[in-house]
Structures are given as C-alpha cells and as structure tokens.
Amino acid sequence: MSSLKPVFTSLREAQKRLALQNREQKDEALRAAAAAIDRDRRAILAANAVDIKKARFDGMKEALLDRLLLDKQRIDSIIAGIETVADLEDPVGRVKSGWKTPSGLFIEQITVPLGVAAIIYESRPNVTADAASLAYKAGCAILLRGSSAALESNRALTASIRAGLNAGGGIGDAVALAGSGSRDEINKILRARGCIDVVLPRGGREFIRQVVENSRVPVIETGEGNCHIYVDESADMNNAVDIIENAKLQKPGACNAVETLLVRREALALLMPSLAARLAKKAELHCDAESKAAIINAETRCRTGEFVPSHKGLVIKDAVEEDWKTEFLDYVLAVKTVRSLDEAVNHINRYGTGHSEAILTGNIGAAEEFCRGVDAACVYVNASTRFTDGGEFGFGAELGISTQKLHARGPMGLEALTTIKYRINGQGHVRE
C-alpha cells in the first residue's frame, strides 16, 4: 500500500479540516473550482483528445466512446453541475429529529459527513467533477479512481478542481486522484479499511461483484442497468414509440438506457410496426417469435402512399436467453412478448438489476400494480428511463445509481455522503 498510503493520510487530514468549514466557505471554494475548469477548458479538451485517440485505436465501440468524450457543451454542463451543487442546501449539521426523554435529556439526530470516500468508475470524465463537488459539499474527502481509458482527462480535471478549491480558500487536498493507471490501485483501495470509510464502484456486473466480494471497506453498490419498458394494450402508441426511441437511442451507453422491451400480446400489432419503422437503420432488435412476426407481417404506408415493409432497413435477430440478461450498452434492443402484467413483472424481477423500470399504459390500476410489484430503485409510468440521473432529480450531480437497499438507493446526491450523529444535552444528568 506504499504508493497510496500518503494519499490516504492526506485525505484523512484534509477531511478533518473540511468538516469544520461552514456552507459559505465550501460554496465559495466550489465556485472557484468551477471557474478553474472554465479557465482550463483548452487543456482539459486537449487531454481528452489524447484519451479519445487511444480508445479509438484500441477498438472502443462508439457508444462507449461517447461516454468518454468531452466537448464545449459537456464542459459547460460540468461547470453548471458544480455551481448547482454549490447552490444546494448544506446537508451537514441538519437536525433530522429531536425529542425529550422521560429523564429530561434532550436528544437530537443530526447529519454529519461520512468521512473519506473512494469512487472507482468507468470512462466518464464528468464523474470526476460530479463526485468531487458532491463530496466536498458534504464535507467528505474523496479519492477518485477513474478508468485508464480516461486517465489524461481525469488528471487534467482533478488538477483544475484542486487548484480552484485552493484559490477559493478551500482545501484542495480533500480531492485526490489515483492516477497511475495501474490495476493494483483498486486492490489497495479495497484493502484500505481505516483509511477509506466507503467505496462506491461504478461499472459492469462482474466488476461490482468483484468489489463487493473483495473489499474490506464498506461498499455502496451502483449496479448495472438492465432496464425494461413494459407496454400494455391501453398505452398511447405514438407516445410509446417516442419514449422507447428516447430510452434506447438518446444515450445507449448510459446505465439508464432501456435494454429489453416487454410488449403485451394484444399491443404487438399496434406498436411493433411503427417502432420498427422508427428504429430502422438506427438500432437492431433481438425479437422473440411473436414480436418478430408482428414486424415482418406488417406494412406501413410511406409518404408517397406506397406500402412498404415496416422493417425495411432494420436488423432483426432471433432473441436468445442470454439477451434477457444482457446490458447491451449499444444500439441493440431485446423484445419479448408477454401475456399479462404479472408475467412482465416476474420477468423484470428475474432479469432486472434493480435500477430503472417503466410501464407505458393508460390504465391507472395497471400502473399502480406495476409500481407495487417491480423491485427497483426507480419505477416510471409513461416516461423514459433516461431520467434516472442526479441532475434530472435536482441533485446537481450524482455519485452513481445505487441498486442496493441499505443507506442509499437510486441516484445518489449529497445525502448519500452523510450519516447521523446523536447530540444529547443534559443538565448534570446521571443514570440511576
């Protein structure tokens, strides 16, 4: 642990000082960090271009390259996210509840920082700024360990953030990057019990499993997103096509993109031809026999009035069992026919990852039954799963999407990096 031990020590000392700062001090430092990123955007974009060139040379697929890419708009978004976090209420020092005991003691439950966090994440440079700003506002020091694919981007962003925090009168040492690119860094972080208070892994199923099984440090799981949309026969089919297209194509490499579409048998003829026409040349479908037949046997009138197959230009493959288990993170959508809402719920609870699930329906009773029956952090009615995001939820940014049930669940904002302390006031009380 020699190479990271000084970093662990520095983070612990920085967190002790950070915990004493008030909201105004933290907010001023965060705004200075945002200004530093704005000032350094040319260097950050140049560093990102190095990562993109290397990733493309290594054969990274386009949907994943999009997660790695930074441009002017994404830098603007990173800056806006930090400024939004600065505008949020301080999560530290809030009195959650208070009561007086029969003995006359007054007990208060107050929020305090979790301490020193470590986040291990994939090729998303924006996570560097999101995690750093949320941790700082929550009074936590944080160790950032991004993937080697984003190494140069993360180095540039972290340098700007640390410099900005210092320039704003804050504590730059509260943010550190495990920046060697060595895989051994992960093992050192997972063994750092007593140095690191919590680990937040972001990545695929196998990576999360390895972290949970090997970590000596408490872990908040941010699981993969094998997300589903269920369409019943009462849904507005025009809206359904728009929602499914958005959930699949708007950002297919995101964990909240839909991977499997479940269609009530009675809705197949109403939905599938239009959906196939919309997705043609944009995505491929892995269909079961009934949904495939609903596409191939249908015809759609084109603008000239001529009838053409709705699936013209669409790649259709026969679905296999493995498709129901797969987070594609690509322009691929699995489609399965179901005979009832119960069958849809059972399929989701069997193959889903507890992330984000949706029902498209005009039946209030069906929507309520779906929401009760599905076991997931986020359940949508007539909306795209793409909204599972800290920014969209009003958190400014996010640490990840927790799919576990203890402490934090769903998009994790400031609250996820706090715990509680009991403050007890007496007047010379002694216990009999």
pLDDT digits (tens, 9 = 90+) for 385-400: 999 988 888 887 888 8
Percent of the chain predicted with pLDDT > 90: 78
Residue 274: is its pLDDT beyond 90? yes
How much is the average pLDDT of 329-348? Answer: 97
How much is the average pLDDT of 3-32? Answer: 96
Residue 204: is its pLDDT beyond 80? no
How much is the average pLDDT of 108-125? Answer: 93
User: Is the domain of 247 the same as that of 195?
Assistant: no
Which residue segment(s) compose the domain that 232 sits in?
Answer: 227-387
Q: How far apart are CA 354 and CA 86, in angstroms?
A: 30
How much is the average pLDDT of 272-299? Answer: 91
User: Is the domain of 69 the same as that of 168?
Assistant: yes
Evaluate whether residue 430 is within a structural domain: no
How much is the average pLDDT of 307-330? Answer: 86
272 vs 203: which has the higher pLDDT:
272
Residue 318: is its pLDDT beyond 80? yes
Helix %, strand %, coil % of the chain (to 5): 45, 20, 35
User: Is the domain of 213 the same as that of 323?
Assistant: no
User: Is the domain of 379 the same as that of 266?
Assistant: yes
pLDDT, position 299: 67
Entry pTM = 0.82
The two counts, helices (H) then strands (E), for the chain are 15, 18
How much is the average pLDDT of 328-336? Answer: 95
Q: Letter for the amino acid at 119? A: I
Residue 267: is its pLDDT beyond 50? yes
Q: How far apart are CA 28 and CA 165, in angstroms?
A: 8
Cβ(86)–Cβ(137) under 8 Å?
Answer: yes
Task: Name the band, by pLDDT with cuts 50, 70 and 90, for residue 306.
Answer: low
Evaluate whether residue 431 is within a structural domain: no
Task: Name the band, by pLDDT with cuts 50, 70 and 90, for residue 209.
Answer: confident
The number of residues in the chain equals 432
Task: Name the band, by pLDDT with cuts 50, 70 and 90, for residue 67.
Answer: confident
Instruction: Indicate which CATH number applies to the domain containing 258.
Output: 3.40.309.10
User: Is the domain of 191 the same as that of 245?
Assistant: no
Per-position DSSP letters for 85-150, written without gaps between them: HHHSPP-TT-EEEEEE-TTS-EEEEEEEE--EEEEE--S-HHHHHHHHHHHHHTT-EEEEE--GGG
User: Is the domain of 190 the same as that of 260?
Assistant: no
Residue with token string 């094998």: 226
Q: Is residue 373 exposed (0-12), middle (13-18) or buried (19+ Cβ within 10 Å)? A: middle
Which residue, 181, 183, 23, is CA-closest to 113?
A: 23
Q: Which of 186-190, 297-301, 396-400 has the lowest mean pLDDT?
A: 297-301
pLDDT, position 1: 41
Q: Which of 14-18, 278-282, 334-338 has the lowest mean pLDDT?
A: 278-282
Q: For all residues of the chain together, what is the average pLDDT?
A: 92
pLDDT, position 296: 87
Per the structure, how many domains does the chain have? 2
User: Is the domain of 57 the same as that of 132?
Assistant: yes
Percent of the chain predicted with pLDDT > 70: 97
Task: Name the band, by pLDDT with cuts 50, 70 and 90, for residue 307.
Answer: low
